[in-house]
Structure 1
Amino acid sequence: MHTDVIIIGGSYAGLSAALQLARARRRITVVDAGQRRNRFASHSHGFLGRDGHSPSAIADEARQQLLAYSTVHWLAGEATQASQVAGGFEVVVNGQPLSASRLVLASGVTDELPEIEGLRERWGRSVFHCPYCHGYELNQGAIGVLANNAMAMHQAQLLPEWGQVTLLLNGAFVPDDEQQALLTRCGVKVEHAQVLRLEDHASVVLKDGRRLHFSGLFTVPSTRMTNDLPHQLGCALEHGPVGSYLRVNELKETSVPGVFACGDTARGFSNVAMAVGDGAMTGASVHRSLVFDH
Structure 2
Amino acid sequence: MTHDVIVIGGSYAGMAAALQLLRARRSVLVIDFGTRRNRFASQSHGFLGMDGMAPGDIVRIAREQLEAYKTLTWIDDTVADVSGETDAFTVTTCAGECHDGRRVIFGTGVTDALPEIEGLAERWGKHVFHCPYCHGYELNEGRIGVIGTGPNSVHQALLLPEWGPTTFLTNGVVPLDHDVRADLLRRGVTIEDTPITRLSGDATVELTDGTSLDFAGLFTASVVAPSSDVAERLGCQIEDTMLGRMISTDASKETSVPGAFACGDTARVPHSVALAVGDGSWAGASVHRSLIS
The normalised TM-score by structure 2 is 0.97
Q: What's the counterpart of residue 121 of structure 1?
A: 122
Q: What's the counterpart of residue 25 of structure 1?
A: 25
- Distance in 1 separating the partners of 2:243 and 2:24: 37
Q: Which secondary structure does the structure 2 equivalent of 1:65 belong to?
A: helix
Q: What's the counterpart of residue 78 of structure 2?
A: 78
Q: 8 Å contact 1:80–1:228 — kept in the other structure?
A: no
- Distance in 2 separating the partners of 1:230 and 1:269: 20
Q: What's the counterpart of residue 239 of structure 1?
A: 240
Give the C-alpha shift of residue 98 in structure 1. Answer: 1.0
Q: Which secondary structure does the structure 1 equivalent of 2:45 belong to?
A: coil
- Distance in 1 separating the partners of 2:277 and 2:51: 14
1:104-115 to structure 2, matched below 5 A, reads 104-115=105-116
Q: 8 Å contact 2:170–2:193 — kept in the other structure?
A: yes
Q: 8 Å contact 1:6–1:103 — kept in the other structure?
A: yes
Aligned partner letter, 2:35: Q
1:52 aligns to 2:33 (yes or no): no
Q: Which secondary structure does the structure 2 equivalent of 1:255 belong to?
A: coil
Question: Quick one: percent identity of the two aligned structures?
Answer: 53
- Distance in 2 separating the partners of 1:231 and 1:86: 16
Q: 8 Å contact 1:106–1:263 — kept in the other structure?
A: yes
1:222 aligns to 2:228 (yes or no): no
1:136 aligns to 2:137 (yes or no): yes
The normalised TM-score by structure 1 is 0.97
Q: 8 Å contact 1:88–1:258 — kept in the other structure?
A: no
- Stretch of structure 1 that moved more, 138-147 or 80-89: 80-89
1:35-50 to structure 2, matched below 5 A, reads 35-50=35-50
- Stretch of structure 1 that moved more, 33-42 or 234-243: 234-243
- Stretch of structure 1 that moved more, 92-101 or 124-133: 92-101
- Distance in 2 separating the partners of 1:150 and 1:229: 29
Give the C-alpha shift of residue 87 in structure 1. Answer: 3.3
Displaced runs of 4 or more, over 3 A: none
Give the C-alpha shift of residue 86 in structure 1. Answer: 7.4
- Distance in 2 separating the partners of 1:85 and 1:203: 52
1:92 aligns to 2:116 (yes or no): no
Aligned partner letter, 1:202: A
Q: What's the counterpart of residue 195 of structure 1?
A: 196
Q: Structure 2 stretches of 5 or more lacking a match? A: none
What whole-Å deviation, never above 9, does each CA across 1:114-166 have from its counterpart, x for those lacking one? 11111111111111000000001111110000011211100000001111110
Q: 8 Å contact 2:86–2:258 — kept in the other structure?
A: no
- Distance in 1 separating the partners of 2:47 and 2:246: 23
Give the C-alpha shift of residue 66 in structure 1. Answer: 0.3
Q: Structure 1 stretches of 5 or more lacking a match? A: none
- Distance in 2 separating the partners of 1:65 and 1:86: 29
Q: 8 Å contact 1:262–1:278 — kept in the other structure?
A: yes
